[in-house]
Amino acid sequence: MTEVSVREIFKSYGKVEALRGVSFEAERGELFGIIGPDGAGKSTLFRILTTLLVADSGSATVAGHDVVKEYNAIRACVGYMPGRFSLYQDLTVEENMEFFASVFGTTVEENYDLVADIYRQIEPFKKRKAGKLSGGMKQKLALSCAMIHRPRVLFLDEPTTGVDPVSRKEFWQMLGRLKEEGITIVVSTPYMDEASLCDRIALIMEGRFIGIDTPRGIVAQYGAPLYAVRADRRGGLLNDLRGMEELEACYAFGNEVHITAKQESAETERRVAEALAAKGYGDVEVRRIEPTVEDCFMKLSRR
Amino acid sequence: MRQRVKVQGGESAGRTGGKGVFAAFVKKEFRHVVRDKRTMLIVLAMPVVQIILFGFALSSEIRNVNVAVLAPHYDEQVRRIVERMDASEYFTVTGMLTSDKDVDMAFRDGSADMILAFGGGFDEVYTVEGTEIQLIADATNTNTATTMVMYATNIISNSLTDGQQEMKAGIVPDIRMLYNPQMKSSYGFVPGVMGLIIILICAMMTSVSIVREKEQGTMELLLVSPMRPIMIIISKMVPYLVLSFIDFLMIVLLSVTVLDVPMAGSFGALCVLALLYIIVALSLGLLISTKVESQMAAMLGSGMVLMVPSMFFSGMIFPVESMPLFFQWLSKILPPSWFITGVKKLMIEGLPAMYVAKETLILTVMAVVLIAASLKNFKYRLE
């Protein structure tokens, strides 16, 4: 059953085109990820789906309701966590929870089991003002508030931005459990490593989806063999590699440079290593690697 | 404040925003207000400070005016007038001058604010043809000058009629200051301060608090909830309505007890008028909040657009009757003008409630128009 359906959504702010024809569908109980850099149009899409903005053209339904005509019905059954921390900083953790529960006509006790995993971690600080929490705890509180009313569809706009790696992991574990409860989750993130934790992902770039598939499917589409290069000097490495004619793509990736060759050949590894050694690099290492979602993103975004 | 309102969330509450939601919202709003020290300070201290300031420091009444007397012959009649003058709380006789030349000097060295000059040989010249008493006042401040000349005239004519009952010469005007016989300025400014503080608290604070929700992003969350926009708005207004009504009561209490302003008319009618005015001010704040995007703009909007005109053109400080026609019209569309007029009638003049029917009607119309306009302008989406 389709819980979220988006067709050819366009949205611009004056001359800036935020979304240029976006379509996707998410099934009930699916964890759908929208992956892309800042400014790609993720937040605009979330605001359209949560009925806060109206698209210039195109249509969308959430939980079977049209986002423009039946916005009241949608507002009653979705949970929304905006990208920016948006709770009352002068209220305590507990008061924020209670308030958002009552706004949705429920109580913290009623749905405690749903948020327990994450809320338990901030419960020791429940008398603390929300504004005095650390970044990770703020996000946990925001998420708890967004789902305290057991929403049918949960929209999380960059929930892990500014959260430490340990908390990020816990966050995703909890999303997995929510999914099992039958809650449909649409989540956006700029972190490519989180993409593999989603059921399906859409890669977004400059207001367009440049690929929608399972994380595995996206990676499988990569095609060309991918190599990671490292050497004792990093300065100049990227430029020197870009100067090699036989290479198609070169881009920095952490401490390494990822490259693909124009033509697949068993010689590529050796030739690149020799060329770099000739330029005076030491400890040159070139090895074949499996592409990640980020590599796919880099490749797709070049088109 | 109640502790822990347990909300029993039935289906209907979830869909329409029932009483429980409303209570939770109002409670949350009160928490914001109570926890913000600046807000509390403004709400609790401002009325007291303004009343004290206007009552004791910024009075337009005159007191202890230095008077010098220029009299060629210091006879019985002159002595009587001078003594009476000196005995009043308004004047202090500081010196006797002997010649015209001293007049300028007395003003220049600041020893006199007003000079009482008698014609030569008062007792003899005081005949059917009349004689001359000249009042020379320092009119750098026109208001003060007018007031002191008027007080002095009163004293002089009183002492003359007392002394010579049979004297029928000339026409001596019998001036009576109705409703405010002592010309206390507090009678005039108490309604003004009331009008000003209520508009400040209601309009400025409501608009700032709604815009703050927009700024910190919580409005987004509230919109994506089953709560109806009108409920969001009403529940935001309630705490400020309560606070400004408390302020209103504080001002009335202080004015009556400390400044001896009368509560001549019906207190109930005054409360109704104040409530109505508070609602008008709240809707003004609401309207401002729908038009601006930042707390700063809300502050400026309510400050410049409401406060300044309210102070200048509502008759609180300057008489509207002597303004150019344009400003008289402006005064008529300002809610404080009507409120202040109504308060004067009810509090000072002690007129029955039916005499403020016009003011009440106009404020009601204003409230309806403003609420309609702000509901129409309230965005239930982000743009």
Check if A5 contacts B (Cβ < 8 Å).
no
Q: What is the per-residue pLDDT across B49-97, written as a single tens digit (0 to 9) for each?
A: 888 887 776 666 677 888 888 887 777 778 888 888 888 888 888 888 8
Q: List the one residue out of B35, B151, B179 whose CA is nearest residue B90.
A: B151
Domain ranges of chain A: 2-219, 223-302
* B124-166 confidence digits (pLDDT tens): 544 445 567 788 888 887 778 888 888 888 888 777 776 555 4
Write down the domain spans for chain B: 11-57+184-377, 65-163
Q: Select the residue from B224, B227, B295 to test the A interface by mutation, using most A Cβ atoms within 10 A.
A: B224
| Contact yes or no for B159/B152 (Cβ under 8 A) | no
- The pLDDT, as a whole number, for residue B15 is 42
- Phi, psi (5° rounding) for residue A187? -130, 140
Q: Classify the phi-psi angles of A21: left when phi > 0, otherwise alpha if psi is within -120 to 50, otherwise beta.
A: left
pLDDT of residue B183: 65
Q: How far apart are CA A88 and CA B33, in angstroms?
A: 12
Which residue in this structure is represented by tokens 């960059």?
A158
pLDDT in tens, B245-267: 999 999 999 888 888 888 888 99
Share of chain B above pLDDT 90, in %: 18
The β-bridge partners of A229 are A257, A286
Which ranges constitute the DSSP H helices of chain B? 11-16, 19-35, 37-52, 76-87, 101-108, 122-125, 142-163, 185-199, 205-215, 218-223, 229-257, 267-291, 295-300, 308-313, 325-333, 335-343, 357-377
CB proximity A69 to B under 8 Å: no
pLDDT score recorded for residue B137: 85
Quote the CA–CA distance of B326 and B347 in Å, as a whole number: 29
| pLDDT tier at B11, thresholds 50, 70, 90 | very low
Q: Does the distance separating the beta carbons of B381 and A54 come in below 8 Å?
A: yes
Confidence at residue A88, expressed as pLDDT on a 0 to 100 scale: 94
pLDDT tens digits along B197-218: 888 888 888 898 899 998 988 9
Q: pLDDT below 70 — which residues of chain A?
A: 303
DSSP-assigned letters across all residues of B359-383: HHHHHHHHHHHHHHHHHHH--SS--
Distance from CA of B40 to the nearest CA of A (A): 14
Q: Does B239 touch chain A (CB under 8 A)?
A: no
In the sheet where A2-13 sits, what is the strand order? A16-27, A2-13, A57-62, A65-66
For B223-233, the pLDDT digits (tens) are 999 888 888 88
CB-CB neighbors (< 8 A) of B9 in chain A: 101-102, 104-107, 110
Residue B309 confidence (pLDDT): 82
pLDDT at residue A98 in the model: 94
b/e string for A165-183 if b means 16 or more Cβ within 10 A?
eebbebbbebbeebbeeeb
Would the pLDDT of B14 be above 80? no
Six-digit token string for A128: 């603390």
- Number of C-beta neighbours around residue A293 at 10 A: 24
Q: Name the pLDDT band for B6 (thresholds 50, 70, 90).
A: very low
Quick one: fold of A223-302?
Alpha-Beta Plaits (3.30.70)
Query: HEC string of B62-88?
Result: CCCEEEEEECCCCCHHHHHHHHHHHHC
Instruction: Name the residue among A75, A91, A98 with its Cβ closest to that of B224.
Output: A75
CB atoms within 10 A of CB B59: 15
Span B278-299, average pLDDT = 90
- CA separation for the pair B19, B8 (Å, rounded): 10
Closest partner residue to A53 (CB to CB) among B20, B35, B382 is B382
- Cα–Cα dist A260/A249, whole Å: 5
pLDDT in tens, B84-123: 888 888 888 888 887 777 888 888 888 888 888 887 544 5
What is d(CA A91, CA A86) in angstroms, rounded to the nearest whole number? 12
- The alpha-carbon gap from A109 to the nearest alpha carbon of chain B, in Å, equals 10
A107 touches B at CB < 8 Å: yes
Say yes or no for a CB contact (<8 Å) between A75 and B225.
Answer: yes
- Which pLDDT belongs to residue B7? 35
Look at residue B182 in the predicted model and tell me its pLDDT. 67
C-alpha distances in angstroms, A236 versus A251, A252, A276, B298, B374? 12, 11, 11, 53, 61
Q: Does B217 touch chain A (CB under 8 A)?
A: yes
Task: Write the residue in B10, B35, B382 that is nearest to A105 by C-beta.
Answer: B10
Q: How many Cβ atoms from other residues are within 10 Å of residue A275's Cβ?
A: 18
Which residue is listed with tokens 């600041």?
Answer: B110
Strand, helix or coil for residue B202 = helix
Q: Using the predicted structure, report yes or no on whether residue B10 has a pLDDT greater than 60.
A: no
- Answer yes or no: do B9 and A52 touch at CB < 8 A: no
Q: Quick check: B101 contacting A, CB < 8 Å?
A: no
* pLDDT value for B18: 61
Q: Report the distance separating Cα A298 and Cα B319, nearest Å.
A: 73
CATH of domain B65-163: 3.40.1710.10
Looking at chain A from residue 127 to 166, which residues have their Cβ under 8 Å from any Cβ of chain B? 145, 149
- For residue B274, the distance in angstroms to the closest alpha carbon of chain A comes to 31
**Could you tell me the fold of the domain covering A2-219?**
Rossmann fold (3.40.50)
CB < 8 Å to A86, chain B: 216-218, 220-221
The predicted pLDDT at position A97 comes to: 95
Q: Residue A98: its chain B contacts at CB < 8 A?
A: 24
Q: Between chains, do B14 and A86 touch, taking CB under 8 Å as contact?
A: no
